[in-house]
Structures are given as structure tokens and as C-alpha cells.
């Protein structure tokens, strides 16, 4: 499964795997795909350096990349405390009431919340980059908007390609103007932050909008036939995130969450502002329901919602409060019904891809297949 882009990056399969787990990212690169480690949870640069050291030891010299979250809109000269102060008291009270309704215990004194707003702030992302450019990463992806011009220039000076996610052709054009190298067209069905245009429509629109820049198809892809579909739509590769959450290498914070993912159907996700303030697809839970409830105050805009709910999310995760327990994941969760190793999943993807190509050739009346 080779495209111009996969040859440029020196990978066997044009499959890009996004994951917050170093063990998954490394296994992907070893399996001939391109592992992309999500950096949002590394608020301390040393933690990131530690895991990138580990990646170096476990990728057998294969290429890999890093995904940072650098918001397009910079919050200038405002401290986290000042942003905290913008949160209405009624919203804090609502969070308390939802947690109380489900009997969610408090964190112990001094326990930090796991999902910190700071991970969303540009300063943290820049600290991450200071670490990352000391490692031979081959790709830097930005999950929210185009990276700032100096970051693009710095990446290029290090020979690192820059990718950015886009939910519309307009976003994609803006990325191209910002000098990025690869656009990830993230369809409505994808997990995490996503727009309203489905992959079937979005992928070719983005390909047309930024040609000759390479495009990766993201959203709704979790099988070889879906990879074939994404590539038929003009993409030079596919970008998969959700599928790895139920691999044996994934280090989810709770078995209860893994069980929920394995049991969920494609209709069990919702595009909700409950986690970050921007629409992100995730498991539908009583937590997301609470933020859809017309009787509630509704979510705040980014970055306020993320700050508001950070501690609550940590408590829900720590105590595995089942009705509230969720995670960003795409509609493909309906197909994630067993735990398997990354290599086995990749083998199934490539086999499924070959079968889909056989089938399409039979339909097209092409001989030799």
C-alpha cells in the first residue's frame, strides 16, 4: 500500500496511526505503518523526553511522528488563573451537582487532575517542541488549526514534515497557505474534534482544495475496505486514531472504559462540546447527556469548558464511574469488538485492503484479479 507520501516517509503501508500511547505508536511504526504519538498529556517536558527516549529504543529505526495541540487562537498575556476566573459560578455548581448525583468521590489532597487545560495552551506545546526537535521525528501534526509560521519554519529546518487536521475545504486551504505539508481531512464520523462534513464528501473536497499537497483520510476508517475507500477518494494515506484504543498495547486508564468501547455500537457516540468546549465526537454517556440537557447551563466555549471539567473528568476516570465514563472515539467504535495486538490489527487491515482491491477490480471487469 504505497503512495508518493508513504515513499517519502519510508513506510511500507500508507497507514498513519494516531495514539496517546508510546507502546501503540512504536508498535505501529514497527509494523510498517507511521506511528504518531499524541503529546497533549505531557505537561512536563521531562515526561515527553522520557517517552521519546523509549520510542527511540522501540521503533527499530522506523520513522514516527508527534501530534501537538496548538490552538489557532492564542490567549495572549492571560494567566490560567485569570481564565479560571471567567467560569460562571452556575457552571461550577452544575458540575458539582452532576458528580454528586452519581456519588463520584473527591480526589485525595494533592492529587492532580489528569486532563489539564495547560495541555491546550501554546506555551506547553512550545515546550513540547523544544523537546521533540531533539529527536529524529519525521512528522509534526497539529490538531487545532495551522501551527504558527515560526513553528512550521523550525520543523522544516529540522527536515520534519508538518501536518494539520481540517474539517472543511476552507480550513484545508488555510493550512496550505500556512505552508504545511500534509492535510488530514477529518470527517464528521471521526473521534475527537470534528466538523459536520462526512469523510465520503470531505476527502475529495480537501484533495481538490489543496492539490498537489498530500491528504490523509481520517474518520470512519477501521478496516481494509475502509482504507481502500479512503484511498479511492484521492487520499495518499489514511489516519486512524480510534481503532488502537482497544489494542493490547493501549494503556487506557480503566478496564471499565475498555469494556465500554468493546461493547459500543456505531450509534453510541455523540459530537459534543462537553469535554473541551469545541464539538468532539466521544462515547455518549450521562456526562455528555448532562451537557445536552436543556435544563442545564450547556457547555462553555474553549478553553473554559476544558478548565471547568478537568477535575471532574479525573474523578470520573479514577473511580471508574461507569455511567459517566467516556473517551473521544469515532463511529468506528462499532467495529472495535475484540482486543488484539497492533501487529494483528495491521495484518487484518492490509489483508482487508487487498481483498477490497480484488473486489473492485472484479466489479470494474479488470483481468488478473
Between 317 and 350, CB nearer to a copy of itself: 350
Closer to a copy of itself by CB, 81 or 363: give it: 363
Q: Are strands 280-283 and 269-272 parallel, antiparallel or unpaired?
A: antiparallel
Where do contacts with a copy of itself occur on this chain (CB under 8 A)?
1-3, 14, 168-169, 187-189, 195-202, 204-205, 219-221, 223, 225-226, 228-234, 265-267, 330-332, 334-335, 353-354, 356-357, 359-361, 363-369
Shorter beta-carbon distance to a copy of itself: residue 110 or 368: 368
Residue 360 CB, shortest distance to a copy of itself, in Å, is: 5
Q: How far is the CB of 228 from a copy of itself (least distance, A)?
A: 4
Q: What angle do CA 58, 64, 65 make, to 5 degrees?
A: 130
Helices (H), the chain: 4-9, 22-30, 45-58, 80-84, 89-101, 122-132, 149-157, 169-177, 199-210, 224-232, 255-263, 286-292, 304-318, 342-364
Q: Kindly tell me which of 197 and 307 has the beta carbon lying closer to a copy of itself.
A: 197
Q: Distance between CA atoms of 247 and 230, rounded to whole angstroms?
A: 22
Q: Is the peptide bond before 81 cis (omega within 30 degrees of 0)?
A: no
Q: Which residues of 267-301 are buried (b: 16+ CB within 10 A; e: fewer)?
A: ebbbbbbbbbbbbbbbbbbbbbbbbeeeeeeebbe
- Residue 184's DSSP bridge partners are 165, 216
Strand partners, 16: 34, 239
Phi, psi (rounded to 5 degrees) for 29: -65, -40
Contact 18, 36 (CB under 8 A): yes
The nearer residue to a copy of itself, 182 or 307, going by C-beta atoms, is: 182
Q: Which is nearer to a copy of itself, 231 or 290 (by Cβ)?
A: 231
Q: Rounded to the nearest whole angstrom, what is the least distance from the CB of residue 182 to a copy of itself in the complex?
A: 16
Cell 481483498 locates to 355
Q: Which of 311, 319, 307, 312 is nearest to 290 (CA)?
A: 312
| Least distance to a copy of itself, CB of residue 198, Å | 4
Contact 77, 62 (CB under 8 A): no
For the bound state, the minimum distance from the C-beta of residue 284 to a copy of itself, rounded and expressed in Å, comes to 11
Minimum CB separation from a copy of itself for residue 200, in Å? 3
**Residue 13 CB, nearest approach to a copy of itself (Å):** 10
Of 162 and 184, the one with the shorter C-beta distance to a copy of itself is 184
Shortest Cβ 173–a copy of itself spacing (Å): 12
To a copy of itself, the closest distance from the beta carbon of 188 in angstroms equals: 6
Question: Is the CB of 72 or the CB of 201 nearer to a copy of itself?
Answer: 201
- Residue closer to a copy of itself (CB basis): 119 or 222: 222
Q: Which lies closer to a copy of itself via its Cβ, residue 33 or residue 129?
A: 33
Say if residue 164 is preceded by a cis peptide, omega within 30 of 0.
no
Least distance (Å) between residue 331 CB and a copy of itself? 4
How buried is residue 222: exposed, middle or buried, by Cβ count under 10 Å (0-12/13-18/19+)? buried
C-alpha distances in angstroms, 19 versus 65, 123, 125, 171, 307?
11, 22, 17, 23, 23
Q: Could you tell me if 160 and 137 are in contact, meaning their C-beta atoms sit under 8 angstroms apart?
A: yes
Amino acid at each position: 500500500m504505497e503512495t508518493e507520501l508513504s515513499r517519502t516517509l519510508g513506510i511500507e503501508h500508507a497507514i498513519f496511526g494516531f495514539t496517546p500511547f508510546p507502546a501503540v505508536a512504536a508498535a505501529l511504526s514497527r509494523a510498517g505503518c507511521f506511528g504518531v504519538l499524541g503529546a497533549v498529556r505531557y505537561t512536563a517536558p521531562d515526561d515527553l523526553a522520557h517517552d521519546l527516549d523509549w520510542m527511540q529504543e522501540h521503533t527499530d529505526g522506523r520513522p514516527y511522528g508527534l501530534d501537538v495541540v496548538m490552538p489557532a487562537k492564542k490567549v495572549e498575556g492571560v494567566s490560567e488563573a485569570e481564565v479560571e476566573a471567567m467560569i460562571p459560578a452556575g457552571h461550577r455548581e452544575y458540575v458539582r451537582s452532576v458528580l454528586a448525583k452519581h456519588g463520584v468521590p473527591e480526589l485525595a489532597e494533592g492529587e492532580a487532575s489528569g486532563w489539564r487545560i495547560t495541555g491546550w495552551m501554546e506555551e506547553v506545546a512550545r515546550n513540547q517542541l523544544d523537546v521533540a526537535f531533539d529527536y529524529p521525528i519525521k512528522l509534526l501534526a497539529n490538531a487545532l488549526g495551522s501551527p504558527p509560521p515560526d513553528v512550521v519554519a523550525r520543523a522544516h529546518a529540522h527536515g520534519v514534515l508538518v501536518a494539520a487536521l481540517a474539517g472543511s475545504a476552507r480550513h484545508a486551504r488555510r493550512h496550505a497557505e500556512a505552508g504545511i505539508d500534509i492535510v488530514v481531512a477529518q470527517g464528521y464520523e471521526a473521534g475527537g474534534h470534528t466538523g459536520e462534513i462526512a469523510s465520503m464528501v470531505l476527502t475529495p473536497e480537501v484533495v481538490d482544495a489543496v492539490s498537489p499537497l498530500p491528504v490523509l483520510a481520517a474518520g470512519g476508517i477501521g478496516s481494509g475496505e475502509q482504507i481502500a475507500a479512503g484511498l479511492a477518494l484521492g487520499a495518499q494515506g489514511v489516519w486512524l486514531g480510534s481503532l488502537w484504543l482497544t489494542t493490547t498495547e493501549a494503556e487506557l486508564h480503566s478496564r471499565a472504559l475498555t469494556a465500554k468501547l468493546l461493547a459500543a455500537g456505531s450509534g453510541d457516540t455523540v459530537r459534543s462540546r462537553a469535554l473541551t468546549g469545541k464539538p468532539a465526537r466521544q462515547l455518549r454517556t450521562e456526562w455528555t447527556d448532562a451537557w445536552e440537557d436543556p435544563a442545564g447551563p450547556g457547555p462553555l466555549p474553549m478553553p473554559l469548558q476544558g478548565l471547568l471539567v478537568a477535575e471532574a473528568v479525573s474523578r470520573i476516570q479514577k473511580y471508574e464511574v461507569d455511567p459517566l465514563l467516556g473517551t473521544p472515539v469515532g463511529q468506528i467504535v462499532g467495529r472495535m469488538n475484540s482486543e488484539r495486538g497492533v501487529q494483528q490489527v495491521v495484518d487484518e487491515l492490509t489483508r482487508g485492503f487487498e481483498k477490497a482491491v480484488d473486489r473492485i477490480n472484479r466489479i470494474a471487469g479488470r483481468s488478473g484479479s
